[in-house]
Amino acid sequence: RVASSRLASTFDESCSWGSTPDGGMNRLSLNNDDKRVREWLIEQCKQLGCSVKVDQMGNIFAIRPGKNNSIPPIGMGSHLDTQPAGGKYDGIVGVLSALEVLRTLHDNQVETYAPVALIDWTNEEGARFPPAMLSSGVWGGAFTLEHGHSRSDASGNTVKSELERIGFLGDVPCSYEANPLSAHFEIHIEQGPALEAENLRIGVVTGVQAMNWYNIVLRGREQHCGTTPMNMRADTLLCAAKMIQSINQQSLALPGARASVAVINSSPQSINTLSGRVQFNIGARASSDALLATLDVNLEKACKEVVEDSVRLDESIMGKSGEGGVKMEVWEKIWECPKTVFDERAVSMVRESAREVEGGRFKDMVSGAGHDSVYTARKVPTAMIFIRCKAGISHNPAEFSKQEDIDAGANVLLGALLRYDDY
Amino acid sequence: RVASSRLASTFDESCSWGSTPDGGMNRLSLNNDDKRVREWLIEQCKQLGCSVKVDQMGNIFAIRPGKNNSIPPIGMGSHLDTQPAGGKYDGIVGVLSALEVLRTLHDNQVETYAPVALIDWTNEEGARFPPAMLSSGVWGGAFTLEHGHSRSDASGNTVKSELERIGFLGDVPCSYEANPLSAHFEIHIEQGPALEAENLRIGVVTGVQAMNWYNIVLRGREQHCGTTPMNMRADTLLCAAKMIQSINQQSLALPGARASVAVINSSPQSINTLSGRVQFNIGARASSDALLATLDVNLEKACKEVVEDSVRLDESIMGKSGEGGVKMEVWEKIWECPKTVFDERAVSMVRESAREVEGGRFKDMVSGAGHDSVYTARKVPTAMIFIRCKAGISHNPAEFSKQEDIDAGANVLLGALLRYDDY
Ligand SMILES: NC(=O)NCCC(=O)O
Ligand SMILES: NC(=O)NCCC(=O)O
């Protein structure tokens, strides 16, 4: 069994880098706080006798040797980066529980058959550098290294330049083939309301829903808000507003699907000049690839209809000027991640471990959020453990899981790891 | 008659500060280009023997003496600041035509009875420091000096600190009472399509429509876009989108009224976190104060309905959490500017001058945009001259007026000034 109080105090220690006055975290990937917590993590693992590798995407592998070090380590990974106004649990629970498992093995002088690796995956959130799960994605072959390195934040800093800046551009090749694992286990907070609703601590995650992200840019005309007749406008923000509402309706019309717009930028930022350029992103998710494909078609159709209406209106009025209405300059899918089904054997080991820790009090579930395990699952047997979180609130400073739920999850992780090691 | 080629080359010279590669201008109020063009303007006026005063809002008064310098000068003013993606005509035509009128008086050794002042009013656009016409507003008593000094841009720089920085925080008190004019005349591009549609160069402006600006802030919850059920969200961006559409509908439903949303900001900027805070502005205008009052009521009602729907939905689902749905944290009118009717005598002098310059080819009209003349009209006889602009396009790099139309306007200004001086 893990040591609850040590896990709790380790939590406090690690969250000193990037915590915000409202009780949340702002530790965007590769910022200075991420640098410090990474250095701290490496130090903690070295104290347990682990060797540490940093790969070309800054992923940290801290490896505790086993009896047979010629076979790849069994991984336990998640992420230490957070949302800009995030909580203390998303990702952090996964890495710190893995650290606690290593410490528990160490204290009990357990010698595993295979080596065991704790992994901190870079830029899981995708908040600073879209898309999410970028570096587990490179490791798992979903993205090229070049794609990973060239993603950039809103200020134009790239992943590669920020890795260099904070001293985490490692030289270990970032791929399963060059730096393999035997398996990957991850605890994560549920980030949804299902476990709480059924008064359960633990979920056994059998897979992850399908996801697409989009980038949309609309072009219209900067025009004077006070003088331009309503029917002569090419108002991109009005079009974007219609699209956002329509995107919501498309999503409500397809049970099992979800589409959200959370990022919008309009320019120029002047109260009396109609916005001539609007950029926004859509995040779409669905319980099956087929449903996501339907949502994909419906979203594009709905948004193009808004633009066509604007052009129709415009041509009848502005025909002579030849200017046209609002145009969709960019409709780009910036991320596609099909549905993931985790390995049956790895999942059953989590389930057996959960039965041991929680009795019958757990349930199988599918994750609504993406996780690094999605991309490790492309290469190695992977499974996940969910723990209950308050009111399903996540990506929010109010994100909360009870210590006893985290302890339970860490014990399930320990049990699953040892089972996989036995196997 | 003014000298067309001199006016044209002065245009090119003055637009070298802040011009953009697309043929437009980006000379936001009190930026470095505004500093340079101000210094240039003062130099030009001094070469004509003018004395120059800078007031506490940075308004520049360049005064050409008359026979009787104990009476206040007759003003010809407009502004040299532009929109962030603006054109070369809005405001600039007014100041440079006034300069050309001064040069024409100088060349012809005309001694006026009253002194004559060219005025460059600070921050007319309101693009950098909302609201518009800020410094003519302080001069005209619509705003206190403290209000004027404390307006700030998106980065938090205040008008006062920027005036200091560029060396234009003058010590002349900014008020009609301390620094009076006898009258105010302004040429401006129409910024709308009416003159072009009737193939006229010149409009005689009899007044300006009523205007209100609003600032709205919505608060919801940052939540995970992938895991949060659609009916548990407090999604501020979705609410804002519904409001923007509703604002448009309210405006279409009231002929003679116009409401536009051009500025929006959502946070946190993360594709997978629902926006917990959205800020946007509304610009509302109407042909009468009564109509604007109706629009005001309708806009607030429509936006509050969107919020109430969100709360209703939320309470049925989230009741136990006590969190509630989206809230309207701020609904603030940041600018109110009632309808302006210009002085009959000043307008008739513009009309007589237009008749002389253009024969019968001009029309009376009401301005859809605000101008510094709105605030001078609160204190002194004021009138405006509109000139035709291409396709009614303004606040856009493609803004354009023909040189012959500018010349005609400058000649109408000269005639109106001399008539007022005679009077
Ligand atoms: N777990 C988590 O919040 N990951 C971010 C990726 C996603 O958007 O689902
Ligand atoms: N003329 C002009 O564009 N002024 C800006 C003030 C307004 O928004 O009408």
Segment B359-395, tens digit of pLDDT? 999 999 999 999 999 999 999 999 999 999 998 999 9
**Chain B hits for A269, Cβ within 8 Å:** 84, 154, 263, 265
Phi/psi region, residue B30 (left: phi>0; alpha: psi -120 to 50; beta: rest), is left
Of B238, B265, B268, which has the smallest distance from its Cβ to A244's Cβ?
Answer: B238
Mean pLDDT in residue range B8-26: 96
- Half-sphere exposure for B68 (CA within 13 Å, toward CB): 8
Token output for A102: 């290593």
Mutate to test the interface with B, among A224, A231, A318 (most CBs of B within 10 A): A224
Q: How confident is the model at residue A60 (pLDDT cuts 50, 70, 90)?
A: very high
Mutate to test the interface with B, among A260, A282, A336 (most CBs of B within 10 A): A260
| Short-list B132, B102, B66, CA closest to B374 | B132
Say if the Cβ atoms of B230 and A258 lie within 8 Å.
yes
| A64: β partners | A116
Nearest ligand to residue A281 Cα: 1
CA B394 to ligand 2: nearest atom:
3
**Chain A hits for B191, Cβ within 8 Å:** 224, 226-227
> How far, in Å, CA of B379 to CA of B384, rounded?
15
Say if the Cβ atoms of A395 and B321 lie within 8 Å.
no
Q: In one letter, which amino acid is A119?
A: I
- Check whether the bond before B381 is cis (ω within 30° of 0): no
If one residue of B88, B125, B336, B394 were mutated to test the ligand 2 pocket, choosing by the most ligand atoms within 8 A of its CB, it would be B125
**Chain B hits for A192, Cβ within 8 Å:** 224, 227-229
Say if the Cβ atoms of B394 and A281 lie within 8 Å.
no
Mean pLDDT in residue range B92-107: 98
Which residues make Cβ contacts (< 8 Å) with residue A59, sequence separation at least 6? A119, A120, A121, A122, A135, A136, A139, A170, A174
The per-residue pLDDT for B323 is 47
Overall pTM surpassing 0.75 (yes/no) = yes
Strands A74-78 and A362-367, bridge-based pairing: unpaired
CA B399 to mean position of chain CA atoms: 15
Q: Is the CB of B296 under 6 A from ligand 2?
A: no
The per-residue pLDDT for A311 is 65
CA of A256 to the centre of ligand 2 (A): 48
Q: Is the CB of A184 under 6 A from ligand 1?
A: no
Distances in Å between the Cα of B408 and the Cα atoms of A231, B3, B110, B387 are 30, 11, 20, 8
The per-residue pLDDT for A319 is 42
Say if the Cβ atoms of A84 and B394 lie within 8 Å.
no
Say if the Cβ atoms of A270 and B392 lie within 8 Å.
no
Strands B116-120 and B74-78, bridge-based pairing: parallel
Mutate to test the interface with A, among B31, B221, B271 (most CBs of A within 10 A): B271
Q: How confident is the model at residue B324 (pLDDT cuts 50, 70, 90)?
A: low
CA A283 to ligand 1: nearest atom:
8
Determine the residue of chain B that is closest to A127 in CA distance.
B270
> How far, in Å, CA of B354 to CA of B351, rounded?
5
**A129 three-state secondary structure:** coil
Say if the Cβ atoms of B242 and A242 lie within 8 Å.
no
Mean confidence (pLDDT) of chain A = 95
| Short-list B238, B235, B286, CA closest to B260 | B286
> How far, in Å, CA of A319 to CA of B73, rounded?
47
Q: Is the CB of B132 under 6 A from ligand 2?
A: yes
If one residue of A29, A95, A124, A260 were mutated to test the ligand 1 pocket, choosing by the most ligand atoms within 8 A of its CB, it would be A124
Nearest ligand to residue B272 Cα: 1
| Short-list A306, A332, A294, A295, CA closest to A243 | A306
**Through-space distance between the first and last CA atoms of chain A, rounded to whole angstroms:** 20
CA angle A145–A148–A150, rounded 5-degree value: 105
| A328: β partners | A218
| pLDDT of residue A170 exceeding 50 | yes
Mean confidence (pLDDT) of chain B = 95
| pLDDT of residue B321 exceeding 50 | no
* Angstroms from A79 CA to nearest CA on chain B: 16
Q: How confident is the model at residue B310 (pLDDT cuts 50, 70, 90)?
A: confident
Which residues make Cβ contacts (< 8 Å) with residue A326, sequence separation at least 6? A218, A219, A220, A234, A235, A236, A239, A307, A310, A311, A314
Determine the residue of chain B that is closest to A236 in CA distance.
B262
The per-residue pLDDT for A324 is 57
Distances in Å between the Cα of B390 and the Cα atoms of A63, A143, A268, B396, B401 are 70, 49, 21, 11, 6
Of B131, B244, B394, which has the smallest distance from its Cβ to A237's Cβ?
Answer: B244
Q: How confident is the model at residue B308 (pLDDT cuts 50, 70, 90)?
A: confident
The per-residue pLDDT for B314 is 55
Nearest ligand to residue B273 Cα: 1
The per-residue pLDDT for B322 is 38
If one residue of B272, B273, B274 were mutated to test the ligand 1 pocket, choosing by the most ligand atoms within 8 A of its CB, it would be B272
Say if the Cβ atoms of A264 and B262 lie within 8 Å.
no
Helix axes B236-252, A236-252, angle to 10 degrees: 120
The per-residue pLDDT for B316 is 53
Strands A382-387 and A202-208, bridge-based pairing: antiparallel
The per-residue pLDDT for A321 is 40
Q: How confident is the model at residue A231 (pLDDT cuts 50, 70, 90)?
A: confident
Of residues A153 and B323, more confidence is placed in A153
CA of A18 to the centre of ligand 2 (A): 43
Token output for B217: 């802030």
The per-residue pLDDT for A310 is 78
Least confident of A112-121, A177-186, A223-232: A223-232
- Half-sphere exposure for B135 (CA within 13 Å, toward CB): 32
Q: Are B175 and B138 in contact (CB under 8 A)?
A: yes
> How far, in Å, CA of B130 to CA of B154, rounded?
10
| pLDDT of residue A315 exceeding 60 | no
| pLDDT of residue A161 exceeding 60 | yes
Mean pLDDT in residue range A113-129: 98
CA A124 to mean position of chain CA atoms: 4
CA A409 to mean position of chain CA atoms: 19
Q: Is the CB of B272 under 6 A from ligand 1?
A: yes
| pLDDT of residue A163 exceeding 90 | yes
Phi, psi torsion values for B416, nearest 5 degrees: -65, -40
> How far, in Å, CA of B145 to CA of B125, rounded?
18
- Check whether the bond before B173 is cis (ω within 30° of 0): no
* Angstroms from B408 CA to nearest CA on chain A: 22
Mean pLDDT in residue range A395-414: 97
| pLDDT of residue B317 exceeding 80 | no
| pLDDT of residue A322 exceeding 60 | no
Say if the Cβ atoms of A261 and B270 lie within 8 Å.
no
CA A145 to mean position of chain CA atoms: 18
Q: Is the CB of B125 under 6 A from ligand 2?
A: yes
